[in-house]
Amino acid sequence: MSLTGMVCLITGGSGGLGAAIGDLFAREGAIIHLADLSDAPGRAVAERIGAGFHRLDVTDESAWMRAMDAIDAEHGRLDVLVNCAGASGIIGDGGLLDTSRWHTLFAINATGPFFGMKHAWPLLRRSSAPSVVNVTSISAAVAVTPAHPAYGASKAALSSLSRIMAVEMAQDGIRVNSVAPGILPVMSGLADDAAERATAHRESVVRTTVPLERVGDHLEVAAAVRFLASPDSSYVTGTELRVDGGFTAR
C-alpha cells in the first residue's frame, strides 16, 4: 500500500487522527501537506514529519483556493485529499435541544469537505491515481451521541455527499470514499469538564455496545484511510469503511 511520491493534503493535521494519518502517510513515502486552523501545533507536526503546512479554515472557501494555488505552484497536481478536519459533538448544557452549535458543526463537518472537493478537483484531475477520503463517523448511521443531534446529522450529510461526489467525480477517474471511525480516545484541548463528560460517555458506550470491548486507536483508523487513499483500492469508490470494533454490526 505504498504512497511513495504521492502528493497528499490532509486537513485537521495538527493533532489526533489527522496527525496520525500524516505520520503514517509520511512513513509510506508520501509528499505531505497538512492543513489546520491551529497554526503552531500544525506547524510542529509538519516539521516533525517533514510536511508542508497551510493555515486553513475549512469553512472559508477563499482559504481553500489559496491552499490549492500553493500546491499547484509547487507540484502541479494533487493525488490524495483527506478531509479529516471536524468539530466534535460534545454534549451541551442544553441537551437534546441545544442548537447553539448547529450551524458551526454543519459548516465544519459538511460544507468544509465540500469546498475541499470542489477546489481540489482540477488538481486531482491531473493525477494518475486520484482519490478523496472523507472522515465521517458511525454517528452518521446510529445515534451514538443522541444528545447532540447536529454532530450526527452533519456527519450523515458528509456521508451522503461522499457517495454523490464519488459518482460525479468518477468521470475524471477520481475515487471518493469515506472512513467512519467508532469510539476513539478523547481529543486533547477540551476543557476539563467537557473531557470528563466525553470520557465517561465513551467508557459507558464501550462497556455495553462494542463487541471488541475497547476504544479504537487513531493508527487503526489511519490504516483504513491509507488503504482507501492508495492505488491498492483502485476499484473502490462510493463506499464507507466503518472502523468501529463491531459497534454497528449489532
Phi, psi of 3 (to 5 degrees): -110, 20
Distance CA 243, CA 216 (A): 8
**Residues forming the active site:** 151
Backbone CA torsion sign across 14, 106, 178, 215:
positive
CA atoms within 13 A of residue 134's CA, in its CB half-sphere? 35
Task: Kindly compute the dihedral angle of the four CA atoms of residues 99, 100, 102, 104, in this order, to the nearest 10 degrees.
Answer: -170
Burial label for 22, CB within 10 Å (0-12, 13-18, 19+), is buried
Distance CA 115, CA 9 (A): 14
